[in-house]
Amino acid sequence: MAHGKRPQHKLCLQTLAILVALCGLPAISNAQTSMEAVETAIRNGNFTSAAVALRKEADAGSADAQYRLASLYRSGRVPAHGDAAAFKLMQMAAARGHAKAQYNLGKMYLSGRGGEKDVPLARSWLAKAAAQGLDEPRQLLRELDSVVTTSTTAAVGTPPSSLRAKLPAPLPTVTADAAVLLNAASRGQVDIVKAQIAAGTHLDIRDDDGNTSLARAAATGKFAALSLLIDAGSKIEPRNTAGNTPLMLAAANGHAEVVDLLLGKGADFKVEGALKRTALAQAVEGCHAKVVTSLMRAGASARTRDANDFTPLINAARRCDNAVLAPLLADKTTLNEVTQTGHSALWMAADRGNVPAINTLLAAGADTSLADSEGRTALLRAIEVRQVGASLELARREGNIARQTKSGNSALMLAAGIGAEAIVKACLSAKAPTNTRNALGLSALMLAAREGHKSVVDILLAAGADKSQRSKKRETAQDLAAVSGHTAVAKLLGATSETSISEKQ
């Protein structure tokens, strides 16, 4: 209608603005996705994957990626790279003006970690970082100025106890011997570990992330180095800055032999670390079946809940196979537990399309009637997110195929609306009622017609669907097809769009 038209030049300008805005989206999305992948990999203990993702950003010139990759290398969690590589990356990031990189480069120059000791350069980089507003380098410069010594090299290489107590980590831990031991433990260099132990190097000195040499050996699965450190008296349960113990680090990375060794030495599997996850929960997060089995045999509880309110079984159902689920199901009391939003292990498996897990859970007696806060059972959720394999398996075993969500949608309606022929047929085979309607008065036939799914309309009509039903807006399936431009479907339903709509009016 004339009064509804907008001036054409305004539309063009609006369109241009939208296109300009959209042009920037892919790059932003890709960058966000890359960094999200890094965060996820680090949380899961997949440090090599995190390093690969960071390397791409670092090579592209990202100062933050260069700094974070340098920090990862310094931690010893990427065995192929050490302090020398970290030093170069820290230099690159510092040169680009990254304040934290400048601060850490200053500390590396102070200790000689990754390169030659150079006190003037250390002071220079610390001053640059302080000029950007960081308190730590400012405090460190004040402390260095207050140290009274006749040997600058000695003062910097081995700070007095009063200075070490005040300095932020990890300056007290970066003596040459400590750095050698930390890195050797990460890499499993047994001879070097033996030599450092014999030389009396402090065994429980920590790196920037609060990891001792023993923790590093556990995280990287270096069994022999770990054994040496334990026998030499290193503490077996120091927590790092994230709250994780060596047992958790080994479990998160799937090092079953290391887990068994630590358990045999009395490591506590009950304590919680990052995200309130026990060693068992961290092993499940990585789907490490052997570790899960070891921990369950040792008496670990499958009833704990992490920060996401997941039990180990609920989390495992998302992506792990029967090798992980089976030991967890030794405690059947967790089978039908749900999160605060009503998500059971079966619901999670359906959401992710994990058919092997669905079969295992159903065989164990999982309750298919459990629904979330929106009234969605595992079957309804599987259809909603288009997990066809999961939907077919659940439809075959669903005890109440007529179950509806809070908005009134049944499995048949959801399947019809997305045009999933196989699921529609499975629902009909399970005796799903064809003419049930949702809160808007829409039936499966109406939903299929509205979306133009002609083959589904055919199937429903053959099953006895009533094409004369009307929605709460008084629309028939024919009307919905016609208004949506699906002429072939409207004709199939027995009327043209003009006739149907005029009759309704």
* Among 42-56, 287-301, 489-503, the range of highest mean pLDDT: 287-301
253 touches 283 (CB < 8 A): no
Sign of the CA dihedral with 78 first, then 81, 85, and 87 last: positive
The full DSSP string for 288-353 is: -HHHHHHHHHHT--S----TTS--HHHHHHHH--HHHHHHHTTSGGGTT-B-TT--BHHHHHHHHT
12 CB burial (10 A radius; 0-12, 13-18, 19+):
exposed
Model confidence pLDDT, tens digit, residues 99-144: 999 999 988 888 777 888 787 888 888 999 999 988 888 888 876 6
pLDDT at 175: 58
Q: 145 pLDDT band (50/70/90 cuts)?
A: low
Residue type, 491: K
pLDDT at 134: 87
State the average pLDDT over residues 61-83.
Answer: 82
CA distance 201 to 58: 34
104 touches 72 (CB < 8 A): no
| Cα–Cα nearest to 216, from 58, 69, 45, 336 | 45
State the average pLDDT over residues 450-473.
Answer: 97
| Cα–Cα nearest to 423, from 394, 449, 443, 454 | 394
| Cα–Cα nearest to 194, from 180, 210, 212 | 180
Higher pLDDT, 225 or 504: 225
Q: Which two tokens stand for residue 97?
A: 């003006």
Let me know the angle formed at the C-alpha of 369 by 367 and 373, rounded to the nearest 5 degrees. Answer: 115
Higher pLDDT, 224 or 8: 224
Contacts of residue 59, Cβ cutoff 8 Å, sequence gap at least 6: none
**At residue 35, does pLDDT exceed 50?**
yes
State the average pLDDT over residues 75-88.
Answer: 79
Q: Which two tokens stand for residue 20?
A: 């300009």
Q: 172 pLDDT band (50/70/90 cuts)?
A: very low
Model confidence, pTM: 0.65
Q: Is 133 helix (H, G, I), strand (E, B) or coil?
A: coil
- Supply the DSSP symbol for 464: T
Q: Which two tokens stand for residue 438?
A: 């949702």
- C-alpha dist (Å) from residue 179 to 6, 191, 211: 70, 15, 12
Q: Is 410 helix (H, G, I), strand (E, B) or coil?
A: strand
111 touches 117 (CB < 8 A): yes
Contacts of residue 490, Cβ cutoff 8 Å, sequence gap at least 6: 449, 478, 481, 482, 496, 497, 500
Higher pLDDT, 164 or 104: 104
SS (H, E, C) 414-463: HHHHHCCHHHHHHHHHCCCCCCCECCCCCEHHHHHHHHCCHHHHHHHHHC
Q: Which two tokens stand for residue 79?
A: 């065995």
**At residue 479, does pLDDT exceed 80?**
yes
**At residue 43, does pLDDT exceed 90?**
no
Model confidence pLDDT, tens digit, residues 90-107: 899 998 999 999 999 988
CA distance 286 to 326: 15
- Supply the DSSP symbol for 404: B
Sign of the CA dihedral with 120 first, then 126, 130, and 132 last: positive
Rg of the chain over Cα atoms, rounded to whole angstroms, equals 31
Model confidence pLDDT, tens digit, residues 396-454: 999 899 999 999 999 999 999 999 999 999 999 999 999 999 999 999 999 999 999 99
Q: How far apart are the first and last CA of the chain?
A: 19
57 touches 34 (CB < 8 A): yes
**At residue 496, does pLDDT exceed 70?**
no
229 touches 201 (CB < 8 A): no
- Supply the DSSP symbol for 235: -
Q: Which two tokens stand for residue 282?
A: 């961290």
Domains annotated for the chain, with CATH where assigned, are 33-142 (1.25.40.10)
**At residue 190, does pLDDT exceed 70?**
yes
pLDDT at 40: 76
Model confidence pLDDT, tens digit, residues 367-402: 999 999 999 999 999 999 999 999 999 999 998 999
Tokens 């929605």 sit at which residue?
471
CA distance 308 to 330: 23
CA distance 58 to 38: 12
1 CB burial (10 A radius; 0-12, 13-18, 19+):
exposed
The answer to which of 2-11, 187-196, 216-225, 242-251 has the lowest mean pLDDT is 2-11
